[in-house]
Amino acid sequence: MAKKIYELPPLPYGYGDLAPHISEEQLKIHHEKHHQAYVDGANAILNKFDSRSNMEFDVKAVA
């Protein structure tokens, strides 16, 4: 079973709090879709290495 090493952090403000500079919809999409995709991708990479016993890796080389 895949471990969740990283989790999407909650924002310290509401989605509508940056209006009118960034709309509530834009911020929600960025946080819930784009940022979540980065978190999921990082977890997927780390789980690949976790599934291989005694494998050392350089995070910079993977990124």
Question: Tens digits of per-residue pLDDT, 3-33?
Answer: 778 999 999 999 999 999 999 999 999 999 9
Considering only CA atoms, give the Rg of the chain.
16
* Section 40-54 average pLDDT: 80
- The Cβ of residue 27 has, within 10 Å, a number of other Cβ atoms equal to 19
Q: How far lies 18's CA from each of 21, 24, 28, 49, in Å?
A: 6, 7, 11, 38
pTM of the model: 0.71
Specify the range with the lowest mean pLDDT, choosing from 3-12, 36-45, 49-58.
49-58
Please say whether the beta carbons of 5 and 42 come within 8 A: yes
Is pLDDT above 90 for 49? no
Question: Which carries the bigger pLDDT value, residue 35 or residue 47?
Answer: 35
